[in-house]
Amino acid sequence: MSLNITQKIIKQHLVSGEMVAKSPINLKMDQTLTQDATGTMAYLQFEALGVPKVRTELSVSYVDHNTAQMDYKNPDDHVFLQTIAAKFGIVFSRPGNGICHQVHLERFGRPGKTLIGSDSHTPTCGGIGMLAIGAGGLDVAMAMAGQPFSLKMPMVVKVNLTGKLQPWVSAKDVILEILRRETVKGGVGCVYEYSGPGVDTLTVPERATITNMGAELGATTSVFPSDGETRKFLKAQGREADWIELLADAGAEYSRVIDLDLSKIEPLAACPHMPDIVKPISELEHLKVDQVMIGSCTNSSYTDLTKAARILKGKTVNQRLSLGIAPGSRQVLRMLADEGTMADLVAAGARILESACGPCIGMGFAPKSDAVALRTSNRNFEKRSGTDSAQVYLVSPEVAAIAAIEGKFTDPRKYAAFPEVKMPEKFTIDDTMFIFPPADGSDVTIVRGPNIAALPVKAEMAKEVTAKAVIKVGDNITTDHIMPAGQYLPLRSNVPEYAKHVFEGVDKEFYKRAVSMKHGVIIGGENYGQGSSREHAALCPMYLGIEAVVCKSFARIHLANLVNFGILPVTFKNPADYDKIEVGDELKIDVKDLSGELLLENVTRGLKMPVVHTLGEEDMVILKAGGRLSFAKKQSVS
């Protein structure tokens, strides 16, 4: 049987289930990664499982989100993460070492392996032929405990690349073009697998940009072949021994094919406030720009920043704006510094930010009121930047650098000679900012600061959900809408405090209303829960008594997180029934038998409407137990 790349990796890691699209499967996970905004909770959950040491080939704890250290909360969390890593056999990446996805690609990613990470942009490592999947922290904790990861067998979409990118057109434009065609919900239940002669023209950092932003499609993940280009990258990282060739078989089948001629793509921008609202730069020319940020896990590689620096060399940042540069890793930062490239950026007036996520999640470098901000990051959701009124556009580093000089959108093809930057034959390798765990960490004392609260656990599900509609929201509600990040990131390890900010940017009265109702149901539109993998968007509502979410459709990771925390996720069988429920309505759902169609009763209005779900048998058992942690503790994974 001819297999595609996705099927080959899944077949090698299949614990149970069949490789039939949409069927439940369980996969062995070789590697895990966490970042500090999600990791603290993930490790509290892992600790609660009672497993003495991680059972993966490799688990890495990165600190790259909560690095502002405005008070004791972040540094206390960092000490907790460092000590718990030492105790349980986890590699610890210290603050300043860089963004998890960029660093993992550089130092740990391996073709043909599986990776699950508590960050939605974990698919970045698909750029070197990994099956890398973003998930909630509890799923990652279970994987560290040696449990398989449960998902539906994805459909595999072949993206057939032909041609070659023209000067001033970048990998960022490739994924924006795909987003323009597919939309932010077009990839739900799918893996995007890249093939065709155009693949050979893309470097690993370019491939990683595409797989990183594949998360915005709602996809399970994205993957490139592991070929000669992959080998060159790993050799330059001193890791050629990690390389294997991994290609699709001739005659491999796909659910559908997208044909994309790289030579016909033009410079693009994602316009406010969604990554799929894409326009050509040529249509945005002369729109004045107030801020530019080059960096984030999407476009912060050595080649990305070197191109930007060559554009900026000998120029001065326009007086109407501020330019921030956030290198993706310490490796990138050191190479830029050693080669004098960093000096060119500083001379141009750029502000050098930490090698961390920072501005992408609203943690520093926020735009001014009503600003037009150009960013090379992956999301431009409303308010995500830290400024409610900001208009954020997503662009390539090249477009961003030119805008920083000109003070406005400028079609780069009219600008000057394109700055060709070759991949280095050898990267600077310095792993001293990793702390590798001792062989036996049983004597390590875990340090817990006062901001680390007890882990909330839900009781078993009752036979009937009886609760009021506590909020009603529209389409494309993101996890940023549900649980804002930015200034609240230090509260991620303190659910009682963080829960006070649920839906704060959507409805400031939500918290008070939820507390007064004690039990609630959330009503939503299409693609509810898209965006970040942050499990707090399920965990905090659970803490406030949310029993169910009823919407038109769910994003993949959030749906799994709801199950993990014992919240019933169902969709309207008839989408028009969404209009028959208002905030405050008393609702009932009989859940004695979760198999098949359920009936939602609007007691207030005397209406009954069918609701459905996509839960597998294991999901139903987990829900009834009160969530995955309650279920696992009863099963005793130790």
Q: Which of 13, 334, 534, 628 is catalytic?
A: 534
In a shared domain, residues 256 and 283: no
> Is residue 593 annotated as a catalytic residue, yes or no?
no
Share of the chain above pLDDT 70, in %: 99
Each residue of 63-83: pLDDT tens digit?
Answer: 999 888 889 999 999 999 999
Each residue of 473-514: pLDDT tens digit?
Answer: 999 999 999 999 888 988 989 999 999 999 999 999 999 999
Tell me whether residue 432 is in a domain: no
Is the pTM of the predicted complex or chain greater than 0.85?
yes
Enumerate the β-bridge partners of residue 586. 468
In a shared domain, residues 284 and 223: no
Tell me whether residue 422 is in a domain: no
Share of the chain above pLDDT 90, in %: 91
* pLDDT attached to residue 68: 85
Q: Which of 264, 287, 311 is the last residue of a domain?
A: 264
Tell me whether residue 201 is in a domain: yes
In a shared domain, residues 328 and 354: yes
In a shared domain, residues 257 and 140: yes
For residues 289 and 301, give the distance between their C-alpha atoms in angstroms, rounded to a whole number.
24
User: Which tokens belong to 237?
Assistant: 């990282």
Cα distances from 314 to residues 280, 295, 351, 405, 576, in angstroms, run 28, 21, 16, 11, 59
* pLDDT attached to residue 635: 67
Query: How many residues would you count in the chain?
Result: 638
Q: Taking all residues of the chain, what is their mean pLDDT, rounded to a whole number?
A: 95
Q: Phi first, then psi: what are they for 454, rounded to 5°?
A: -65, 150
Does the pLDDT at position 455 exceed 90? no
HSE-CB at 117 with a 13 A cutoff on CA atoms is 34
CB 268 within 8 A of CB 279: yes
Q: Which of 382, 414, 446 is the last residue of a domain?
A: 414
The residue written with tokens 């990051």 in the block is 377
Number of domains in the chain: 3
Each residue of 247-278: pLDDT tens digit?
Answer: 999 999 999 999 999 999 999 999 999 999 99
Tell me whether residue 427 is in a domain: no
In a shared domain, residues 70 and 195: yes
* pLDDT attached to residue 227: 98
* Local confidence band at 544 (pLDDT 50, 70, 90 cut-offs): very high
> Is residue 65 annotated as a catalytic residue, yes or no?
yes
Cα distances from 615 to residues 364, 559, 562, in angstroms, run 39, 10, 11
Each residue of 296-348: pLDDT tens digit?
Answer: 999 999 999 999 999 999 999 999 999 999 999 999 999 999 999 999 999 99
In a shared domain, residues 18 and 32: yes
Domain that holds residue 566: 464-629
* pLDDT attached to residue 363: 86
Tell me whether residue 419 is in a domain: no
Q: Which of 229, 264, 299 is the last residue of a domain?
A: 264
* Local confidence band at 596 (pLDDT 50, 70, 90 cut-offs): confident
In a shared domain, residues 116 and 205: yes
27-31, 65-69, 214-218, 536-540: least confidently modelled range: 65-69
For residues 21 and 23, give the distance between their C-alpha atoms in angstroms, rounded to a whole number.
6
Q: Which of 13, 36, 61, 64 is catalytic?
A: 64
Each residue of 91-133: pLDDT tens digit?
Answer: 999 999 999 999 999 999 999 999 999 999 999 999 999 999 9
Does the pLDDT at position 440 exceed 70? yes
Q: Which of 222, 296, 301, 532 is catalytic?
A: 532
SS3 category, 146: coil
The residue written with tokens 């070492």 in the block is 97
Tell me whether residue 435 is in a domain: no
Sign of CA dihedral 75, 49, 33, 176: negative
**Left if phi > 0, otherwise alpha if psi is -120 to 50, otherwise beta: which for 25?**
beta
How does strand 24-27 pair with strand 149-152? Answer: antiparallel
Tell me whether residue 545 is in a domain: yes
In a shared domain, residues 197 and 279: no
Nearest to 326 by CA among 297, 346, 347, 349: 297
List, in order, residues 6 or more apart from 579 with CB less than 8 Å away.
none
Enumerate the β-bridge partners of residue 569. 549
Q: Which of 36, 77, 119, 480 is catalytic?
A: 119
* Local confidence band at 1 (pLDDT 50, 70, 90 cut-offs): confident
* pLDDT attached to residue 479: 95
User: Which tokens belong to 525?
Assistant: 């539109």
In a shared domain, residues 244 and 278: no
Tell me whether residue 423 is in a domain: no
* pLDDT attached to residue 416: 82
> Is residue 534 annotated as a catalytic residue, yes or no?
yes
Does the pLDDT at position 636 exceed 70? no
In a shared domain, residues 152 and 198: yes
CB 131 within 8 A of CB 154: no
The residue written with tokens 């989408």 in the block is 575
Is the backbone peptide bond immediately before 481 cis, with ω within 30 degrees of 0? no
Enumerate the β-bridge partners of residue 86. none
How does strand 131-134 pair with strand 114-117? Answer: parallel
Nearest to 423 by CA among 638, 230, 248: 230
For residues 78 and 82, give the distance between their C-alpha atoms in angstroms, rounded to a whole number.
6
> Is residue 338 annotated as a catalytic residue, yes or no?
no
List, in order, residues 6 or more apart from 214 with CB less than 8 Å away.
123, 126, 175, 178, 187, 192, 221, 222
Domain containing residue 121: CATH number:
3.30.499.10
Alpha helices in 214-259 (DSSP H): 228-236
Domain containing residue 578: CATH number:
3.20.19.10
In a shared domain, residues 400 and 530: no
Q: Which of 65, 78, 104, 558 is catalytic?
A: 65
In a shared domain, residues 258 and 323: no
User: What distance separates the 2 farthest-apart alpha carbons in the chain?
Assistant: 72
